Amino acid sequence: MFVFYFDHIKVATMRKDVRILLVGEPKVGKTSLIMSLVSEEFPDEVPLRAEEITIPADVTPERVPTHIVDYSGTDTCTSLYDETHMACIAVLMSMPQASPKVLIPLLLNVLILLSCHRVPLILVGNKSDLVEHSSMETILPIMNQYSEIETCVECSAKNLKNISELFYYAQKAVLHPTGPLYSPEDKEMKPSCIKALTRIFKISDLDNDGILNDNELNFFQRTCFNIPLAPQALEDVKNVVRKNMSDGVKDNGLTLKGFLFLHTLFIQRGRHETTWTVLRRFGYDDDLELTQEYLFPLLKIPPDCTTELNHNAYLFLQSVFDKHDKDRDCALSPDELKDLFKVFPYMPWGPDVNNTVCTNEQGWITYQGYLSQWTLTTYLDVQRCLEYLGYLGYSIIQEQESQTAAVTITRNKRIDLQKKQTQRSVFLCNVLGARGSGKSGFLQAFLGRNLARQKRIREDHMSYYAMSTTYVYGQEKYLLLHEVLPDFEFLSEADLACDVVCLVYDISNPRSFEYCAKVYKKHLLDSKTPCVIIAAKSDLHEARQYYSLSPLDFCRKHKLHPPQMFTCNTDEAPSKDICTKLTTMAMYPHAKLRCMCSCNRCTYCICHNLLNSELVRSVKAKLYSAVLNRSLSIALYIPHSPTPQAGSLIHMTQADLKNSTFWLRASVGATVFAVLGFAVYKALLKHR
């Protein structure tokens, strides 16, 4: 029969040591068994109790140190209770000729002590050299009656029969227990084991077609056992399944039923370690729960640093999206999203996610929205992101130590300010404003939803976040808008800790701007965080604000950009220009911006500023005055004689005037082009 190659790979969830306790009636040979194991010969003199011995990890099959404890009948019950509390497994020894009437009461007493600590048990019939027949026919019915009993062994300390095997089975019962995997009564795997192996199958099914093809089986084998499968071995696997199941192999690949059948076969034939190696490689502990070490690997984040997904993480998430986007419409339908999250123990995304990122007209999360949600989770709660990546099997598929390999920790923001450049890709904008000022509408407009689409959103499904991409200098960046609750007196430092602040007021409400002015003067006046004021609902009639200064005068006084007009009451998707400006300001908070392109570094901005500068204006004025003076001087010298000669003189003078005007215009054009060329050269040089 084909079996997976088992290599002793290091598994973090495996026990660090094994403690075996030998229990039984006096004179059954517990001490003799231990001494025969150590000395490899039967002892002439046997003490009342053997000292605890430790077998080094180097000489054990599972590379785990093993402690063997001898229990003497002279010990108190309290001592036995303490020993069972520390033990990993108990070995109940009896005489091979012991009848069930003698064995069962002793067994029940031991099981009562072991039940409190969930310690497995092995039944051992020692001194098999004293009887001619096997006692297994008597022991097996008892074993089948009590699920706590892992196995039964007959041995002899005198003949050294099955001694090494006994302790190997004991060690194996601890490291690879049968109880969580298999039900002997039903002769099938337990539901928790089926659930875990089903998740492993779905992760390993890289193309999500419901079968494991040869490449996927080879990847699975190499991932779990560090050794590939030979082509003949692959065929042996499929032939074993074909002989026992009609639907275990499909399109020359292994189905989920065939995958589960193979593991059932391993367990039934005593190869528990094969299934346990697979389970532990995918992060499961002895209770078939994903371990905390697997889901939440240690990741230290220094102050003033943020967390982002790196390029390899985005490639992995892209492959997961493509794997489940079966209709190739670049969006995940509810069924496709449900299928994606089948490897999770719960549904991680609620209905608010659909109002946090971009969706299509049907309300399905698009590819861009999918990546935006992952980016948002990484930025706001990196531990939750690591947990989600663990459920998807990132470290296994990408062959990394843990999910932390997917996360990049950005450098301190103060260093970015000092160097006047940043390598971050995610920027946070806190949106503040009075109630009803249009903050939620501004967030939803960033996701491409006009007022008509926003009215269809249920209030309990609204989100305080909106995330999407913007482009700055042709580079894709993520902007995260966060709506801050408008409780003025309770604004904390966390509410204002961001890359750029957006103050929103309703132009139709005369008391709306006052909130923005108070927030700015109290919290942002001395802050280095860039700030923009948004005049929302600009499609409505503008009311005079009940404040000492108009919004425009307030901005001029505090050297802010003029209020930016915004409305989401449009037929098409609202403009994202303001969000692009916010992202640019967040990227370059040190720059004193002169135009609401908000960069002052691109060619357009430099040329625009140069053309509006005093130097260019004075040159233009002098050129126009020169042209005008030239025209007037020529006109003054034209004779007013009606003779033909005078007419020809007038004709010649007008030609000269036209020619002079042409060259003057050419000179102006050349000057302008020279200025533009210099500006482009300067911009490119500065960019380098």
- Taking a C-beta distance cutoff of 8 angstroms, is the pair 432, 422 a contact? no
> Do 501 and 393 belong together in one domain?
no
- Provide mean pLDDT across the span 289-311: 94
DSSP letter assigned to residue 524: I
Between 640 and 282, residue with greater pLDDT: 282
pLDDT at 525: 87
> Do 477 and 591 belong together in one domain?
yes
List all residues 6 or more positions away from 494 whose beta carbon is below 8 Å from its beta carbon: none
> Can you tell me the distance from the alpha carbon of 433 to that of 582, in angstroms, rounded to the nearest whole number?
16
Encode 39-65: b = buried (16+ Cβ within 10 Å), e = exposed: eeeebeebeebbeeeebeeeebebebb
- Provide mean pLDDT across the span 47-68: 81
Residue 73 has pLDDT above 70, yes or no: no
Percent of the residues in the chain that have a pLDDT greater than 70, as a whole number: 77
> Can you tell me the distance from the alpha carbon of 467 to that of 674, in angstroms, rounded to the nearest whole number?
42
Tell me how far CA of residue 584 lies from CA of 207, 297, 528, 599, in angstroms.
Answer: 39, 34, 15, 6
- How would residue 12 be classed by pLDDT, with cut points 50, 70 and 90? very low
Residue 64 has pLDDT above 50, yes or no: yes
> Do 250 and 162 belong together in one domain?
no
> Do 171 and 225 belong together in one domain?
no
Which domain CATH number covers 585? 3.40.50.300
Between 465 and 137, residue with greater pLDDT: 465
pLDDT at 688: 41
Q: What is the pLDDT of residues 85-99, one digit of tens each?
A: 666 666 766 666 565
- Written as six digits, the tokens of 365 are 């999360």
> Do 373 and 500 belong together in one domain?
no
- How would residue 631 be classed by pLDDT, with cut points 50, 70 and 90? low
Q: What is the pLDDT of residues 265-296, one digit of tens each?
A: 998 888 888 999 999 999 999 889 999 999 99
Between 611 and 688, residue with greater pLDDT: 611
CA dihedral (42, 45, 49, 55) positive or negative:
negative
List all residues 6 or more positions away from 87 whose beta carbon is below 8 Å from its beta carbon: 19, 20, 21, 69, 117, 119
Residue 11 has pLDDT above 50, yes or no: no
- Provide mean pLDDT across the span 434-451: 94
Residue 9 has pLDDT above 60, yes or no: no
Residue 548 has pLDDT above 50, yes or no: yes
**Has residue 12 been placed in a domain?**
no
In total, how many domains does the chain have?
Answer: 5
pLDDT at 645: 44
> Can you tell me the distance from the alpha carbon of 321 to that of 387, in angstroms, rounded to the nearest whole number?
18
Q: What is the pLDDT of residues 394-414, one digit of tens each?
A: 999 999 999 999 999 999 988
> Do 442 and 547 belong together in one domain?
yes
pLDDT at 52: 82
> Do 35 and 138 belong together in one domain?
yes
Tell me how far CA of residue 503 lies from CA of 69, 484, 487, 591, 597, in angstroms.
Answer: 72, 10, 14, 20, 18
> Do 28 and 173 belong together in one domain?
yes
Between 619 and 239, residue with greater pLDDT: 239
pLDDT at 176: 85
pLDDT at 230: 86
- Provide mean pLDDT across the span 132-139: 71
> Can you tell me the distance from the alpha carbon of 402 to that of 211, in angstroms, rounded to the nearest whole number?
26
> Do 405 and 423 belong together in one domain?
no
DSSP letter assigned to residue 558: T
**Has residue 147 been placed in a domain?**
yes
**Has residue 641 been placed in a domain?**
yes
**562 three-state secondary structure:** coil
Which of 26-30, 196-200, 581-585, 591-595 is predicted with the least confidence, judged by mean pLDDT? Answer: 591-595
Element (H, E) at 460: none
pLDDT at 8: 36
Which domain CATH number covers 365? 1.10.238.10
Q: What is the pTM of this model?
A: 0.78
pLDDT at 272: 86
pLDDT at 640: 46
Other CB atoms within a 10 A radius of the CB of residue 591 amount to 15
Residue 6 has pLDDT above 60, yes or no: no
In what order do the strands lie in the sheet containing 89-94?
Answer: 53-55, 66-70, 18-24, 89-94, 121-125, 149-154
Could you say which of 265, 289, 313 is where a domain stops? 289
Could you say which of 177, 211, 227 is where a domain stops? 177
pLDDT at 213: 94
- Provide mean pLDDT across the span 220-247: 89
> Do 426 and 545 belong together in one domain?
yes
> Do 154 and 226 belong together in one domain?
no
Q: Which amino acid does the sequence have at 552?
A: L
Which of 5-19, 23-37, 671-685 is predicted with the least confidence, judged by mean pLDDT? Answer: 5-19
pLDDT at 655: 52
> Do 397 and 505 belong together in one domain?
no
- Taking a C-beta distance cutoff of 8 angstroms, is the pair 173, 150 a contact? yes
**574 three-state secondary structure:** coil
Other CB atoms within a 10 A radius of the CB of residue 648 amount to 10
**Has residue 608 been placed in a domain?**
no
Other CB atoms within a 10 A radius of the CB of residue 266 amount to 22
- Provide mean pLDDT across the span 88-111: 65
Percent of the residues in the chain that have a pLDDT greater than 90, as a whole number: 48
- Provide mean pLDDT across the span 633-661: 48
**Has residue 10 been placed in a domain?**
no
DSSP letter assigned to residue 471: E
pLDDT at 644: 42
In what order do the strands lie in the sheet containing 253-255?
Answer: 211-212, 253-255, 249-250
- Provide mean pLDDT across the span 321-336: 95
- How would residue 174 be classed by pLDDT, with cut points 50, 70 and 90? confident
> Can you tell me the distance from the alpha carbon of 193 to that of 176, in angstroms, rounded to the nearest whole number?
13
Could you say which of 145, 177, 209 is where a domain stops? 177
> Can you tell me the distance from the alpha carbon of 352 to that of 334, in angstroms, rounded to the nearest whole number?
14
pLDDT at 275: 94
**Has residue 219 been placed in a domain?**
yes
Residue 492 has pLDDT above 80, yes or no: no
**Has residue 496 been placed in a domain?**
yes
Between 91 and 484, residue with greater pLDDT: 484
Range of the domain at 305: 300-349+361-410
pLDDT at 50: 81
As a whole number, the mean pLDDT across the chain is 82
List all residues 6 or more positions away from 169 whose beta carbon is below 8 Å from its beta carbon: 122, 150, 151, 153
**Has residue 356 been placed in a domain?**
no
